[in-house]
Structure 1
Amino acid sequence: MSKKQFHLSLICAFCMLFIFSCREKKKPLPIQQSESKIQIEHATGFSIKPNSDFTVIEVTSAWPGAETHFTYALVPREKLATITLPRDAYNAIIAIPVEKMVITSTTHIPSLELLGMLDAVVGFPDTDLISSSAARNQIDKGLIKELGTNENINTEIALELNPEMVIGFGINGTNKAYETLKRSGIPIVYNGEWTEQTPLGKAEWIKFFAPFFQKEAEADSIFKDIEKSYKQAKALAQNAKEKPTVLTGGLYKDVWYVAGGKSWMSQFLEDAQADYLWADTDEKGSIGLSLEAVLEKGEKADFWFNPSLHTSYEELLQANSHYEQFSAFSNRKVFSNAVKKGVTGGLLFYELAPQRPDLVLHDLISILHPELLTDYQPHFFMPLN
């Protein structure tokens, strides 16, 4: 090799070394893995796994019987440029704290309100369903836009709002509007709180919302207060001297739907020291029965809760004259969770009760065992008019 060729080779070698060293400097910072998890004690449908660089939320029960798990990586904005995540490993990668979001269920509102993050909501399908006075104020100011319905979201308006994410609610994995939004680059994050079967399990989903706003400590504190209140109410109910019998539900067309023995409502009644007549069944949802079958078992029930959406005895009789055959009807012991509504007709119970099971349990105790809670004003369950 000539001296000139040697120098040329040496220059090439230095150039290659410089190129690779530059590339090395541009490599993202290594991700610090951690096995720690945020403690979830009652909810079964999600988990949260933080590490020093980002947080992973996994939703394992987006809807009943869901076989697909959804995994979301939440990355602090200041770290987005310094770490690289394998996009095929996550359903969405989201910058936090989130500043603009669309939500799709009224049950999402209480969690955001308690966390002080209601201002982040920019759109909602069917805003008339919302009862929260704070949320209605946002709607009246034009800060929360009407988006149609959950199954048919107005995607044009949603895209104009430019949200960073949509908290999705679904009964299955099919929603054309969600697919349209995803193709436009807006992440859909499924929330499955409604699939939980226990009162405290539903309420603990406030911890699901918290990482999107870096509010984990606040959510943990809020939930502990709700949990403590619920457990105190449950302990109070243990002082009841008797367990009154309870009937639930009402006719829809020709089918009477009662709460299943493994349902959310059945758990409330058990904790309130009631003798629920269908507590020994295995259904997690409702059970469809004939009027004759319900009469046979529940005719003499001491109390009757949630007679469909009827709010007066007159309505019940107009719907079906056979209702007056029940002792709870003739003794005026029928109570409904559909009496209290927001200004546009939304039912307060379906919005707030999942987040505040302690209030639900106090209501039931005050009705079933009034001697244990004197001068109590119910939040959800009211006597029929």
Structure 2
Amino acid sequence: MKNNFFIILSLIIVFSFIECKKDKFVEDTELNVGKSTIRYAKGFSIKKYKGFSVLKITNPWPKANKSYTYVLKEKTGIIPDSLINFTTINVPIKSVIVTSTTHIPSLELLGVTNSLIGFPNLNFVSSSKTRARIEAKKVKEIGVEQNLNTEVILDLNPDLIIGFGIDNNNPSYDNLEKSGLKVIFNGDWNEQSPLGKAEWIKFFGALYGLDKKAITVFNQIEKDYNSTVSLAKNATKRPIILCGEMYENVWYTPRGNSWSSLFLKDAKTNYLWSNTTGTGSLSLPFETVLDKAQKAEYWFQGSFSSLAEMQNSNIHYNQFDAFKNKKIYSFSGKKGKTGGILFYELAGNRPDLVLKDIIKIVHPELLPDYEMFFYSKLE
């Protein structure tokens, strides 16, 4: 009887020790070991541990009221009990469906374009490399983002679907998850700082087991961007800038803290609405814009490809000095074979090129040999 008592006591001690060790492991893993390498982006974090990473998406769309946590499990990784209720994704992934053209440049920069097997609205894709895969029937059409073709997607059976949305109301994703497929949200489009948006390449790096490569690519973009910001400080003037255009009797122009406005700030310009707060766009009457910006030296917009097209759209555009002096620049002229605008696809990943374009326009003496990549002058 005494022997039985000691045996039971010993087992209790052993199991207690195991539980303590397990809890200690979880605590150390979650709180002390993992450190996020994200420095600019506000919408996600990655904490890497031995055998797995924890990816947290905190701002997938404007005013998001919840975050999404995913565990990225390597082949030999062991997931602690404290994380087993989160969605687990086996990495590196081998096949993927993405749902925004902004996702495609990261695949190309990481050298994993061949993993892409499906995309909605294929005509929107601009990249020549990805278009070649589309033409070779290696990337399937999966419908439109708000109404995905679940039958086609289920047949493709990707390792992962990378979704995006303007809110948490897309039943297609819910149905796909219920069918057993893995869905993860990407909020790169909702990121406001130029380098923050570009840093989402690390999101893709984590999914493909290419964390180091993603960091290397981003570090070079960061270096180029910051050196260009430093170059702009040598400019001797701050030219006055007008942005946007009319749509259904309303003029839309970027707010002062928006992604577009921050480029103009870093390029050392005087954007006329730079002091407004918030992100997204201001909605203004034409008269307000004309009164404030009639004498603006440069005009940036993205809807027209010629001055004649602008004139036909709104005869009052010719009242602005920038129109009269032909100092209007647009990114709408650079398109893929099927009409997708390159800027919408690539600019988020390459803020260094966007900034150089703007500086070439407003401070041409600082970049005498540079050729604009996205923007062109309207004729």
TM-score where L is the length of structure 2: 0.91
Match of 1:33 in 2: 29
1:290 aligns with 2:285: yes
Q: Structure 2 residue aligned with 1:382, among 367, 376, 379?
A: 376
Which amino acid is the alignment partner of residue 264 of structure 1?
W
- Superposition pairs for residues 1-385 of structure 1, below 5 Å? 33-34=29-30, 35=32, 36-79=34-77, 83=79, 85=81, 89-90=85-86, 92-306=87-301, 308-385=302-379
Which amino acid is the alignment partner of residue 351 of structure 2?
P
Q: 1:88 to 1:68 in 2, by over 3 A?
A: farther
**Counterparts of 1:89 and 1:245, CA distance in 2:** 53
Which amino acid is the alignment partner of residue 254 of structure 1?
N
Question: Deviations for 1:305-325, whole angstroms, at most 9, x for unmatched residues?
Answer: 01x511110011100100000
**Counterparts of 1:268 and 1:193, CA distance in 2:** 17
Q: Shift of residue 60 of structure 1? A: 0.4
Q: Shift of residue 142 of structure 1? A: 1.2
Q: Shift of residue 77 of structure 1? A: 2.6
**Counterparts of 1:315 and 1:101, CA distance in 2:** 39
3-state SS, counterpart of residue 314 of structure 1: helix
Which amino acid is the alignment partner of residue 33 of structure 1?
T
CA RMSD in angstroms comes to: 2.2
**Counterparts of 2:188 and 2:205, CA distance in 1:** 14
Question: Deviations for 1:285-340, whole angstroms, at most 9, x for unmatched residues?
Answer: 1000011110011111000001x511110011100100000000000000001110
**Counterparts of 2:135 and 2:246, CA distance in 1:** 36
TM-score where L is the length of structure 1: 0.90
Q: Which runs of 5+ in 2 are unaligned?
A: none
C-alpha contact 2:51 2:75 (8 A) present in aligned 1? no
**Counterparts of 2:83 and 2:369, CA distance in 1:** 57
C-alpha contact 2:71 2:83 (8 A) present in aligned 1? no
Which amino acid is the alignment partner of residue 352 of structure 1?
L
Q: 1:88 to 1:288 in 2, by over 3 A?
A: farther
**Counterparts of 2:110 and 2:59, CA distance in 1:** 23
**Counterparts of 1:56 and 1:131, CA distance in 2:** 32
**Counterparts of 2:290 and 2:81, CA distance in 1:** 60
Q: Shift of residue 84 of structure 1? A: 6.3
Question: Deviations for 1:5-49, whole angstroms, at most 9, x for unmatched residues?
Answer: xxxxx9xx9xxx9xxx9xx9xxx9x76725321321111111111
Which amino acid is the alignment partner of residue 205 of structure 2?
A
**Counterparts of 1:371 and 1:214, CA distance in 2:** 43
**Counterparts of 1:68 and 1:222, CA distance in 2:** 30
Match of 1:4 in 2: none
Q: Shift of residue 375 of structure 1? A: 2.8
**Counterparts of 2:82 and 2:147, CA distance in 1:** 32
Moved more, 358-367 or 136-145: 136-145
Question: Deviations for 1:347-373, whole angstroms, at most 9, x for unmatched residues?
Answer: 000100000000000000000011111
Question: Deviations for 1:93-133, whole angstroms, at most 9, x for unmatched residues?
Answer: 11111001110000001111111111111100001100111
Q: Which runs of 5+ in 1 are unaligned?
A: 1-9
Structure 1 runs (4+) deviating above 3 angstroms are: 82-89
3-state SS, counterpart of residue 317 of structure 2: helix
3-state SS, counterpart of residue 33 of structure 1: helix
Q: Shift of residue 269 of structure 1? A: 0.3
Who wins on radius of gyration, i.e. which is larger?
Answer: 1
Q: Shift of residue 384 of structure 1? A: 1.0
3-state SS, counterpart of residue 89 of structure 1: coil
